[in-house]
Structures are given as structure tokens and as C-alpha cells.
Amino acid sequence: MTEAAAERAGGVLGWEHARTPDLRGRTVVVTGASDGIGREVALHLARWGARLVLPARNRAKAEGVRARLLRETRADDGADAVTLVDLDLADLGSVRRAAREITGLLGSGTADLVNVAGVVSPRRQETADGFELLLGVNALAPMLLVESLLPVVHERVVLVTSHAHTGGRIDLDDPHFRRTRWTLPRAYSRAKLTAMLWGLDLATRMPTGTELQLAHPGWVVTNLQNASGNAQVDRLVTAVSRPLAMTATQGAAAVLLALTQPLPPGSYVGPDGWQHLRGRPTLIRRSEQALDHDLSRQVVDWMRGEVGLAP
Ligand SMILES: NC(=O)c1ccc[n+]([C@@H]2O[C@H](COP(=O)([O-])OP(=O)(O)OC[C@H]3O[C@@H](n4cnc5c(N)ncnc54)[C@H](OP(=O)(O)O)[C@@H]3O)[C@@H](O)[C@H]2O)c1
């Protein structure tokens, strides 16, 4: 079997037991497709026939991905096979504009949504709206984007979170680390736990006929490792991680399975190996906190207030 054939059969993704998706006639909106795991997600979806809408903050990078997608999938209807939309998740104004533009692009049509975009930072920073950056980009802005697009969802929404949520601690007195000490692990795990709690709630509110799935890609060598603020240290971390961690293609597997395969609604998909760092995608268990419906309601009420959504 050629590599392309194996990939078509799910071999490279670790789910050769499952049906190869046929996404012809479907549209999928993928954030974070300008790099890393999101780019691999977009590539597979395009190979399986989906039309793509790719909201991205860096137009030049996104144009490069669009050109690669069109080249590799030999899409003959290139004009609308891959459509780019400007989106900066660190700015709620940009999120509102992107949601309006995507709704307009779809017209009377529908789309599946995959929020892959995420960020880390070596120091505390704020978004245009004064949110702690990681919380803003990994949780608050995705809430505004996804919930604004719920009326056009075709079948599924997939939120890419992280198993780092298991170390997260919610503090609604100081969610943005304005008084308490910011560290990258604290901020990242809080942001991802916040997204998990929003996902727990959203899974129960999805429009009839649609469902929400959560995905953890595993430990994957991408730009996300470049978080030290020191290029030499980043290069060392990448060199040490590369033989141990998964590739972006392997990391995309959990996301693609969550989007395309039959699953119980509201599932959490991730690699089956030790600590869910590597392996084949399967249903995995989230933390007790991430299953706490009371905490979820409190967090979601707070989040809606932050992004200006009606209670
Ligand atoms: N890598 C891992 O080990 C790992 C583990 C668990 C979970 N995850 C999650 O997987 C997702 C993808 O991460 P990755 O590893 O593929 O990282 P990556 O290579 O750094 O890709 C991140 C993507 O998010 C986009 N993005 C960042 N900030 C944005 C903003 N303000 N507005 C719009 N887009 C923005 C980036 O755009 P640019 O191209 O413009 O930078 C890029 O497309 C993230 O949610 C991450 O938390 C990753």
C-alpha cells in the first residue's frame, strides 16, 4: 500500500479500523490552520473533499497554507475550495467581524467548526480587551466565535483543548492573574480547564441535530514548544522533544477522529498512551474538575459576561 493509500485508510492517523471520511459537499471552518496541528487537520479535511474556511491572524502564512492545500488536493474549484478570513483571537472586535464574515460566506449553508488555535507565551501579556492572553485566546475568544456561529453549525463542533487542563485551577476572584503570580503552566492549564468547562456546558446546549466533541492532540512537536522566550532554549527543547513527541500529523488524529467518526456527544478524545502524551486516539477521561457541572455553570456565566454574550 502506498503512503497516500495508507493515509486514506487512516493508517497514519492510527485509526485504520475506521471508515475514511467522505466530506465532499461539506464545509469545515478550522481555526489555527496556519501552522502545526491545525494545518494537518486542514490538509486531511481537504484530502477528504471538504471545502474549508480558514480564519487566521497572519494572512501571508495562511495564503501559503491555502496554496499548499490546493496544490496537494488538486482542487479544481480552487476559487472557493479554501477561503481565508482574518481572525485575531486576541481581539474580540476581530472575532465579531470574523463571525459575521463567515456567516455571510456560508449564506444559507452550514459548516462544521474546529477550533484548533491556541497560544502560549513566556510572560504575562494581555489581549486587546485586557484579558490575560492565554485565557483570552485559548478560551474566551473561542467561546465568542463558536457561540456566534452556532446557528450555522452543520453537525459538529470540535474544541481542541489539552490534557494540561488536569493541572488547572479556576480562580474567579482573579482569573486574569492581575494580583496572583502568573506562570506559564498555571496560565495554560487554567485556560485549557476553562475551555473544558465551557465545553461541558456547551455540549448540553448544542442545537438539535448537532453535537460538541473535545479533543486533546497529545504531546506534539510544533511552535507551541517555542515558549521560553529564548531561541537557543527553544531549539534545545524542540531537539529533545522531537524523538519523543508525536508529529503534527499524529497530533491531528484525535481532532480528525472527533470531527468525523461516530462518538457519544460531548466525548473527550486523545491518545491512548501513558499520561495521554502519545498513542492512538480514543475516548479518554477528563479530570474530575472538568466534569463538575456546578463549576462549569459558574465559569460559563463569568465567561459570557467577559465576552459580552447574553446570560
Ligand atoms: N503541541 C502540543 O503538544 C499540544 C498539546 C496539547 C494541546 N495542544 C493544542 O493544540 C492546538 C494547536 O497547537 P499547535 O501545537 O499546533 O501550536 P502552533 O503550531 O503554535 O499553532 C497554533 C495555531 O494557533 C494560531 N493562533 C495563535 N494565536 C492566535 C490568535 N491570536 N488568533 C488567531 N490564531 C492564533 C497560530 O497562528 P500563527 O500561525 O499566526 O501563529 C497557529 O495557527 C492549541 O490549541 C494547543 O493548545 C497542543
Q: Express each pLDDT in 1-42 by its tens digit.
A: 344 554 554 567 888 778 889 999 999 999 999 999 999 999
Provide the pLDDT for residue 48: 94
Residues 6+ apart with CB under 8 A from 98: 55, 85, 86, 87, 145
Helix 59-73 and helix 36-47, axial crossing angle in degrees, nearest 10:
30
DSSP H/E element including 222? none
Does the active-site annotation cover 188?
yes
Provide the pLDDT for residue 8: 53
Q: Is 120 in the pocket of ligand 1 (CB under 6 A)?
A: no
Provide the pLDDT for residue 2: 45
Provide the pLDDT for residue 11: 66
Q: Is 137 in the pocket of ligand 1 (CB under 6 A)?
A: yes
Q: Any idea of the CA torsion for 168, 173, 178, 180, to the nearest 10 degrees?
A: -60
Burial 145-175 (b: 16+ CB within 10 A, else e): bbbbbeebbbebbbbbbbbbbbebebeeeeb
Distance CA(140)–CA(308), nearest Å, equals 10
For CA atoms 276, 277, 279, 282, the dihedral sign is: positive
Task: Report the CATH number that the domain containing residue 39 is assigned in CATH.
Answer: 3.40.50.720
The whole-number average pLDDT for the span 218-246 is 90
Provide the pLDDT for residue 78: 59
Do 189 and 153 contact (CB within 8 A), yes or no? no
The radius of gyration of the chain's CA atoms, rounded to the nearest angstrom, is 18
Q: Is 88 in the pocket of ligand 1 (CB under 6 A)?
A: yes
Q: With left for phi above 0 and alpha for psi between -120 and 50, is residue 74 left, alpha or beta? A: left
Confidence check: pLDDT of 238 > 80: yes
Q: What is the pLDDT of residues 72-104, one digit of tens each?
A: 886 655 568 999 999 999 999 999 999 999 999
Distance CA(42)–CA(48), nearest Å, equals 10
Q: How many Cβ atoms are within 10 Å of 69's Cβ, its own excluded?
A: 22
CA of 255 to the centre of ligand 1 (A): 13
Provide the pLDDT for residue 65: 97
Confidence check: pLDDT of 298 > 90: yes
CA of 271 to the centre of ligand 1 (A): 18
Kindly report which listed range (52-66, 173-187, 220-234, 281-295) carries the lowest average pLDDT score: 220-234
Question: Structurally, how many domains does the chain consist of?
Answer: 1
Q: Is 116 in the pocket of ligand 1 (CB under 6 A)?
A: yes
| 80, three cell numbers | 472557493
| 12, three cell numbers | 497514519
The residue range of the domain holding 60 is: 3-307
Q: What is the pLDDT of residues 128-170, one digit of tens each?
A: 999 999 999 999 999 999 999 999 999 999 999 999 999 999 9
For ligand 1, atom 36: residue with the closest CA: 32
Q: Which of 119, 132, 269 to mutate to test the pocket of ligand 1 (most atoms within 8 A of CB)?
A: 119
Provide the pLDDT for residue 121: 95
Distance CA(171)–CA(287), nearest Å, equals 17
Q: Is 87 in the pocket of ligand 1 (CB under 6 A)?
A: yes
Distance CA(5)–CA(12), nearest Å, equals 10
